[in-house]
């Protein structure tokens, strides 16, 4: 059920442009940026729904079967993480593929950074899955872990980004911030790292700051999320006891 | 086939659930683990199945410590602890096949059919998520049977089964114990009497008695006398003996019969008989109280 909805969302802009309901952007870069505009947030949602219960399901009644089998918990965790990664990566690559293919159909070209976009996207999916698996290891209830994952990546992280933009602090510790690299790579020229724009309304002037992560910085944040999340998830999962199950 | 508990201590928060439990179960047979709720039975079972880790001591399966090498130790063990459920997204057949495959076994249709008939399982293509609680438990038991392991750890396995299912399951245990080591916890004494060869009594996290069903029954039976009087039960005289500390307690089971508990020594027994004989005793026997009475005595 999750995957068809994800695909439908991925197809919204190409269909609207293809059917001339929306006016096509002037160039392939703007088109691709528009087609992939919601890619990161919906991929994170997809990952949360897919992997949000990957570990927490073992702290319920099914865990009395799974955890009593002669299989290492690290193997169980890695197998589930890998399965969620493959599924999410295929879905994300399909979204990007549709964006690139329809762009080629409309403009006869693809964005120059398409290979880098694909590579960073795979890295992003890996880090998102690991992060969600970490959350899953923290909660006993699968449904609570899924809801918390969705809240964190869809509500909490964007709010933090908004607040930090206002006070001028780079949100270098947020995965969603790192994920912006993917959309920025569709632009003809990569945005500058920091822009500060004063906005005046009468006698009040507000300065709005905006950060764009460097490509290497985004990749580094993703790698850090991947490594740290998996390590902590493994530490928690391998030590957790089933004192009682709901 | 061996399960060894070596000075097992498990603290759950401030509570000491197990306090220095040691035993050694070896070879084929069914070993009963008896105790009231909260005695530490399930905690012990969880320590042997890697669901908990000991605070002190070790739980070993065939010489392999469960907490440090769980994958190796659990190769020989199938378990039913607390209220497990089969995977909700699998059918009955898929779950049984998966349970066997994880133990490097393959089950054919005949085996699935045989187990299904014995446990009255639902249709093999039924989704486990659609089953009732009792049926889920039966499917889980079926999965344990097809795993073909040498050791079964069963925590109150007949809980949730109806009387007919319980009988079937006890019959299966009777068969399996000829080839396997079965470690079975229960507070249903008649069940343990029927299927177990040896019994360990546990209370407040400590082992308080171990022995064969026969030994324990004999031992505790000898501490009670069933006395039939020629006339009415002399309740006043029995009350005086109790007040003097000669007997521990007495129950009046009918107009002429009384069950008298004492410390089990020959000296006290003689004293009781000498005191009551002048009041008219028709018959006096060691009371056949069985394991249930032993349990009640031990848990006091």
pLDDT digits (tens, 9 = 90+) for B4-53: 999 999 998 888 989 999 999 999 999 999 888 888 999 999 999 999 99
Q: Is residue A135 part of a domain?
A: yes
Q: Is A245–B102 a contact, with Cβ atoms under 8 angstroms apart?
A: no
pLDDT at B90: 92
Task: Report the topology of domain B2-211.
Answer: Rossmann fold (3.40.50)
Q: Is residue A95 part of a domain?
A: yes
Write out chain A's pLDDT in tens, 246 residues.
Answer: 777 888 888 888 888 888 888 888 989 999 999 999 888 888 988 898 888 888 888 888 888 999 999 999 999 999 999 999 999 999 999 999 999 999 999 999 999 999 999 999 999 999 999 999 998 999 888 788 888 888 888 889 889 988 888 888 899 999 989 999 999 999 988 999 888 888 887 788 888 888 899 999 999 999 999 999 999 999 999 988 888 754
B 99-158 near A (Cβ less than 8 A): 99, 102-103, 140, 143
Nearest to B52 among A61, A70, A241 (CB): A241
Residues B72, A70: contact at Cβ < 8 Å?
yes
Question: Averaged over B270-298, what is the pLDDT?
Answer: 77
pLDDT at B292: 64
B10 and A CB contact within 8 Å: no
Top pLDDT among B167 and B152 is at B152
pLDDT at B294: 64
Tokens of A114: 């398409």
CA nearest neighbour of B280 among B254, B256, B298, B263: B256
Residue to substitute from A68, A83, A240, interface B, most B β-carbons within 10 A = A68
| Chain B residues near residue A1 by CB distance under 8 angstroms | none
**A133 lies in which domain range?**
2-239
Q: Is B49–A69 a contact, with Cβ atoms under 8 angstroms apart?
A: no
Top pLDDT among B190 and B124 is at B124
B61 and A CB contact within 8 Å: no
A206 burial level (CB within 10 Å; 0-12, 13-18, 19+): exposed
Q: Is B53–A69 a contact, with Cβ atoms under 8 angstroms apart?
A: no
Q: How many domains does chain A have?
A: 1
Q: Is A68–B83 a contact, with Cβ atoms under 8 angstroms apart?
A: no
Domains B2-211 and B222-298 fall in the same CATH topology: no
Nearest to A72 among B71, B75, B87 (CB): B71
- What chain B residue is nearest to A76 in terms of C-alpha separation? B71
Q: Is B83–A62 a contact, with Cβ atoms under 8 angstroms apart?
A: no
A83 and B CB contact within 8 Å: no
Domain boundaries, chain B: 2-211, 222-298
Q: Is residue A80 part of a domain?
A: yes
| Chain A residues near residue B83 by CB distance under 8 angstroms | 61, 64, 245
Q: Is B50–A62 a contact, with Cβ atoms under 8 angstroms apart?
A: no
pLDDT at A246: 47
Q: Is B53–A241 a contact, with Cβ atoms under 8 angstroms apart?
A: yes
ipTM over 0.85: no
pTM of the model: 0.79
In percent, the amount of chain B with pLDDT more than 90 equals: 36
Domain B222-298, second-level architecture: 2-Layer Sandwich (3.30)
Average pLDDT over chain B reads: 87
Question: Averaged over B69-77, what is the pLDDT?
Answer: 93
pLDDT tens-place string over residues B97-153: 999 999 999 888 888 888 888 887 888 889 999 988 888 888 888 999 899 899 999
Q: Give the distance from residue B58's alpha carbon to the nearest chain A alpha carbon, in angstroms.
A: 16
Nearest to A65 among B53, B73, B86 (CB): B86
Q: Give the distance from residue B253's alpha carbon to the nearest chain A alpha carbon, in angstroms.
A: 43
Tokens of A201: 């309304």
Tell how far CA A29 is from the center of its chain.
Answer: 21
B44 and A CB contact within 8 Å: no
Nearest to B84 among A65, A72, A241 (CB): A65
Q: Is residue A166 part of a domain?
A: yes
A·B CB contacts under 8 A = 66
Tokens of B69: 């090498």
B84 and A CB contact within 8 Å: yes
Q: What sign does the CA torsion over A221, A225, A226, A228 have? A: positive
Q: Give the distance from residue A49's alpha carbon to the nearest chain B alpha carbon, in angstroms.
A: 16
Q: Is residue A245 part of a domain?
A: no
């Amino acid at each position: 059920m999750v995957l068809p909805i994800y695909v439908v969302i991925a197809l919204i802009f190409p269909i609207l442009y293809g059917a001339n309901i929306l006016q096509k952007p002037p160039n392939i870069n703007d088109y691709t940026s528009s087609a992939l505009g919601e890619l990161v947030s919906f991929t994170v949602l997809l990952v949360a729904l897919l992997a949000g219960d990957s570990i927490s399901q073992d702290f319920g009644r099914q865990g009395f079967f799974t955890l009593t089998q002669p299989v290492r918990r690290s193997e169980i965790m890695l197998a589930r993480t890998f399965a969620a990664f493959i599924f999410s990566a295929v879905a994300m690559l399909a979204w990007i593929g549709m964006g690139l293919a329809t762009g080629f159909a409309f403009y006869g070209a693809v964005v120059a950074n398409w290979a880098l976009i694909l590579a960073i996207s795979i890295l992003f999916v890996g880090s998102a899955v690991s992060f969600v698996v970490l959350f899953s290891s923290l909660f006993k209830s699968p449904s609570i872990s899924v809801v918390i994952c969705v809240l964190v990546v869809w509500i909490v992280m964007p709010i933090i980004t908004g607040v930090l933009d206002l006070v001028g602090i780079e949100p270098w510790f947020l995965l969603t911030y790192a994920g912006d690299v993917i959309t920025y790579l569709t632009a003809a020229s990569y945005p500058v790292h920091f822009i500060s724009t004063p906005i005046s309304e009468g006698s009040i002037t507000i300065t709005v700051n905006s950060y764009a992560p460097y490509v290497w910085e985004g990749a580094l944040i993703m790698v850090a999320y991947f490594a740290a999340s998996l390590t902590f998830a493994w530490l928690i999962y391998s030590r957790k006891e089933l004192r009682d199950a709901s | 086939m061996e399960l060894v508990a070596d000075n097992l201590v498990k603290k759950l928060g401030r509570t000491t659930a197990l306090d220095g439990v040691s035993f050694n179960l070896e070879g084929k047979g069914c070993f009963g683990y008896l105790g009231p709720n909260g005695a530490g039975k399930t905690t012990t079972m969880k320590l042997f199945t890697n669901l908990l880790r000991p605070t002190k001591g070790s739980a070993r399966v065939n010489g392999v410590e469960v907490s440090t090498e769980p994958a190796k130790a659990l190769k020989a063990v199938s378990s039913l602890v607390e209220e497990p459920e089969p995977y909700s997204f699998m059918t009955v057949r898929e779950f049984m096949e998966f349970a066997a495959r994880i133990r490097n076994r393959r089950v054919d249709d005949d085996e699935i059919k045989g187990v299904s008939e014995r446990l009255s399982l639902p249709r093999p293509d039924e989704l486990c998520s659609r089953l009732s609680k009792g049926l889920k438990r039966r499917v889980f038991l079926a999965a344990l049977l097809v795993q073909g392991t040498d050791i079964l750890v069963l925590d109150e396995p007949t809980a949730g089964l109806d009387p007919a299912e319980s009988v079937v399951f006890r019959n299966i245990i009777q068969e399996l114990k000829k080839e396997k080591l079965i470690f079975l916890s229960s507070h249903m004494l008649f069940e343990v009497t029927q299927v177990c060869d040896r019994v360990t009594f546990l209370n407040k996290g400590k082992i308080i008695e171990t022995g064969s069903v026969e030994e324990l029954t004999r031992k505790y039976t000898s501490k009670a006398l069933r006395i039939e009087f020629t006339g009415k039960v002399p309740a006043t005289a029995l009350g005086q003996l109790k007040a003097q500390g000669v007997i521990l307690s007495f129950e009046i089971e009918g107009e002429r019969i009384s069950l008298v508990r004492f410390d089990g020594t020959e000296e006290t027994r003689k004293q009781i008989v000498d005191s009551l004989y002048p009041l008219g005793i028709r018959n006096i026997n060691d009371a056949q109280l069985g394991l249930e009475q032993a349990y009640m005595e031990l848990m006091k």
